[in-house]
Amino acid sequence: MAQYLGLSKKYMKKIAVVALGGNALLRASEAGTIEQQEKNAYDTLAKVLGLIRNGYSLVITHGNGPQVGNIMLRNEAGFEKYKIPKMPLDICVADSQGGIGYMLERQMRNVFNDFNIDKNVVSLITQVLVDIKDPAFENPTKPVGSFYIKEEADLLGKANNWQFKEDSAKRGWRRIVASPVPQDIMNKQIIEELVLNGHVVIAVGGGGVPIYRHENNFLEAIEAVIDKDRASSLLATQINAEELYIITDVPKVYINYGKADQKSLDVITVSEAEKYIEENQFADGSMKPKILAAINFIKNGGRKSIITSEEEIGKENGGTQIISG
């Protein structure tokens, strides 16, 4: 790709994709004020400086769960009180990409300023191509938005043709949408060109805005949410990244999690990771998608993937490393 872009050898750098989890901006115990989110963003981004100092060019991706949920609430409230037209889910995801991307970009610039690093940062609204025939559209599973009592969920479902499902922890009912497999990152060439030229790129926010292609190549949005780690893994593959960091709220991956014989994993091969998946060691809604994203990245040419907490980013032997084999 570098030859295609016409880049000289001096720009040939090793690339790392860092996929930030939702706690990068919003901690579980916080209300989510802008002051809290900006401080969290600064603190998180300061921890990736080790990668930059070690010669990596960075692409930063991020989740959007709490933020897009709040956008959807404002959608409903604005319609109920002021009859402001509701925006579809793709616009809500794009809104969250813009807002979070702006916040991360500004705080990254503040980090660079405070640590005397001369680099540029750019955030991109990212569309991600999916297959309209993906089986996920026949079986929506991804919860989005707020919790409702069953009567509220029933009314919203009838009014908007939405599907709802009760939360496993009995906290209420949430809207569920499809989570199709990402097929292509639409602006991957631009992202690679920017990062190879040494710029930090913020992209694939919330997994990207899902779109599909008609037979005449017309692009249309669809009501769905793409898994952020899956999209980050695909992007890392498409821009020839060496490493993929998946940031979560635990320092390492565990087997027998929460049991007396719980064990942390330091370095595992793809084969070992697949064996643990077969043994149901990882929960569907938490660690399993991250492990699958890491496996896909390694199988498609990545050197290693690291699943860890933000405190462990860049540390020697930090996190759980997944390698080929």
Residue 164 token pair? 């709802």
Adjacent-strand bridge partners of 212: 220
| Residue 288 neighbours by CB under 8 Å, 6+ apart | 277, 282
* Burial call 138-177: b when 16+ CB within 10 Å, e when fewer: eebebbbbebbeeeebeebeeeeebebeeeeeeeebbbbb
| Sign of the alpha-carbon torsion through 139, 141, 142, 145 | positive
Select which of 21, 23, 75, 208 is catalytic: 23
The question of whether 228 is a catalytic residue gets the answer yes
Exposed, middle or buried: residue 72 (CB in 10 Å: 0-12, 13-18, 19+)?
Answer: buried
Select which of 21, 22, 206, 319 is catalytic: 22
Select which of 63, 290, 296, 314 is catalytic: 290
The question of whether 22 is a catalytic residue gets the answer yes
Select which of 142, 187, 188, 206 is catalytic: 142
Q: What is the DSSP letter of 206?
A: G
Cα–Cα distance measured from residue 271 to residue 191, given in angstroms and rounded to the nearest whole number: 31
Decide: 92 and 71 in contact? Cβ < 8 Å: yes
With CA atoms as reference, report the closest residue to 253 among 262, 245, 265, 269. Answer: 265
Select which of 21, 69, 188, 228 is catalytic: 228
The question of whether 6 is a catalytic residue gets the answer no
With CA atoms as reference, report the closest residue to 52 among 115, 10, 103. Answer: 115
Question: Where in the sequence numbering do the catalytic residues fall?
Answer: 22-23, 142, 228, 290
